[in-house]
Amino acid sequence: MKTAMIWGASGGIGQALVARLLQDDWTVLAVTHHPTRLAGFTPHLFDANVADPYEVQLTLNAASQVVTEIDLWVYTAGDISAAKTAEMSPDTWRRLIEANLTGAFLTTHYSLPLLAETAHLFYLGAISERLALPRLGAYAAAKAGLEAFVEALGKEERRRRVTLVRPGAVDTPFWERVPLKLPANALSPQTVAQQILEAYQQQHQGRLDL
């Protein structure tokens, strides 16, 4: 049986992935900082703040008691907030960088020993060149940093596949927190989840623009 670990499992895309993988009889390790949203959804549910090294380590230690290795690993955790540079508090800036970038590093760093030699890692990014918009500076900076991190990781982990997923608009609650209108052609979380699983089956590497 294949095993998957989903970080940010209570978000729109995370939930869609967990649901589809369970439907396909995967063993799914679902990690979220909001476990009540997934209560009863999956037997292997972990509560962790991705920006806290100690909590991430505890989660991986617990995961190692459930599975011996992970085949599919997905980082969908993130956060967003809209504010001009003059108005954004340092705490908000730090929170966005931690959720979208630092968390990706920490979860990767501590997960690597548990990953199968042929594991496939996916990171939920964005089409960063479109994000340099007023009030989205922190989010744009974090996603641009994530792209650089994932590109470098792909060169380091030659035996494993590393994919940066760059969807356009996705119909999730994120849009309630930004001063933008959800485009009519926004993707559903289920569509993004399906594209990730197809990329896994096709052994895709590098960027995956949706």
pLDDT tens for each residue of 41-73: 888 999 999 999 999 999 999 999 999 999 999
Per-residue pLDDT, averaged over 26-40, amounts to 92
Q: Is 14 helix (H, G, I), strand (E, B) or coil?
A: helix
Each residue's pLDDT tens digit, 67-120: 999 999 999 999 998 999 999 999 999 999 999 999 999 999 999 999 999 999
What average pLDDT is seen over the chain? 92
Query: How many beta carbons lie within 10 A of that of residue 145, not counting itself?
Result: 18
Strands, DSSP E only, in the chain? 3-7, 27-32, 45-47, 70-75, 115-124, 161-166, 206-209
DSSP state of 68: S
User: What separation in angstroms does the CA of 77 have from each of 25, 48, 62?
Assistant: 23, 11, 19
| Domains, the chain, with CATH or none | 3-209 (3.40.50.720)
d(CA 79, CA 97): 9
